[in-house]
Structure 1
């Protein structure tokens, strides 16, 4: 991720107002990856790196029918996993990681997905962001997973300026009111994906524009 330009940081009152607004609009935001259990969620998130959720969902439909557990995934083998996910970017390396993490879950965790970051990050292909997604979505822990969308929104709005994903994550843990922590990363990711877009943010329809520090705001198309 490129280092962002230095921006002013929003105060806590503005940050709270932003999450109040997100909550009013969508009280229970959901992720867009399809999964059936903790294992398939973990695999889906690993596969989603540098790929769209829609593309991952298309590839994993058959994969998860055949292998909804670590044992079934290992039984498939690397070659068949590779064939099933070949429409996803970086599929060869991802297939090897999915096979390896499945075997490690069997060897070290009795075939279960661990519910702590350290154990998750020890798995092949799993970094801090992936671990945070699994902990948040499946285990309902108040973690914040910083992807490119959230990194952009945190910096562009002034909500959580930072030069690295970790800086943005740590800044957000201080900015987000505790009662909104569970859903914070979903709200921000979806906001970045559909409104605060990379090339041209749609400020004219942004629900948090009154607090956002981004300038100049983009006008209504054709307006």
Structure 2
């Protein structure tokens, strides 16, 4: 259950970032899955540059398996962090999607996390964005901003997810995931947060708070 202060913070976040969703360009669930896997240790802007060269030619898991070798895929995503392991995982994921899921992205958490390169965060993003299932994916922005704002306290990602689930109404889980991400990108940056521009300045008691 959220405190009065936490409710105020969530209300301001909702008003400030209303309607903002994922910044990853995609046109179907498979493309979203690929983009989210690529986004680990890589900016969304960079991912969108990479997928712009990928998706027009390689649009389904079957096409990936038919036309892409691991070496070719590494070449196509070389400007993405961890591109070697991502190429291997993406092709392995495509094989599982074709062999076990008729080329479709599964809609169950337990099946998603069995895909190579898919952890808890990516699975929650897929459930939320692709299938409309309430979920809170804790990425680096959500982890940082939720703790700075006092919506969560733990140093553990899983525990932060559980804290947010208790603090935020379930109907708002998916939206709040985006509120916290956009807040982290625009204002509550890892280094030199723009506290003087933040609508939550009076409610924030973070040790990282700046007044310059």
Per mean C-alpha deviation after superposition, the further-off stretch among 154-163 and 49-58 is 154-163
**Unaligned stretches of 5+ residues in structure 2:** none
| RMSD over equivalenced CA pairs, Å | 1.5
Instruction: Give the CA deviation at 1:215.
Output: 4.0
Q: For residues 38 and 182 of structure 2, what CA distance do their matches in structure 1 show?
A: 19
Total equivalences in the alignment:
211
1:211 pairs, out of 200, 203, 208, with: 203
8 Å CA contact 1:146–1:185 kept in 2: the answer is yes
1:165 pairs, out of 157, 169, 185, with: 157
* SS in structure 2 at match of 1:134: helix
* SS in structure 2 at match of 1:210: helix
**Unaligned stretches of 5+ residues in structure 1:** 1-9
8 Å CA contact 2:134–2:171 kept in 1: the answer is no
The runs of at least 4 consecutive aligned structure 1 residues that moved more than 6 Å come to: none
Instruction: Give the CA deviation at 1:89.
Output: 1.2
What's 2:141 paired with? 149
* SS in structure 2 at match of 1:145: coil
What's 2:52 paired with? 61
What's 2:63 paired with? 72
**Does 1:128 pair with 2:120?**
yes
Deviation string for 1:184-219 (max 9, x for gaps)? 111001111221111121111112222222147422
What's 1:15 paired with? 6
Instruction: Give the CA deviation at 1:114.
Output: 0.6
8 Å CA contact 1:85–1:91 kept in 2: the answer is yes
Instruction: Give the CA deviation at 1:79.
Output: 2.2
8 Å CA contact 1:143–1:182 kept in 2: the answer is yes
Instruction: Give the CA deviation at 1:55.
Output: 0.7
* SS in structure 1 at match of 2:21: coil
Change (3 A) 1:215 1:79: closer
Q: For residues 186 and 138 of structure 1, what CA distance do their matches in structure 2 show?
A: 14
Q: For residues 63 and 181 of structure 2, what CA distance do their matches in structure 1 show?
A: 32
* SS in structure 2 at match of 1:65: coil
8 Å CA contact 1:135–1:143 kept in 2: the answer is yes
TM-score (norm 1): 0.90
What's 1:3 paired with? none
**Does 1:137 pair with 2:129?**
yes
Q: For residues 110 and 11 of structure 1, what CA distance do their matches in structure 2 show?
A: 42
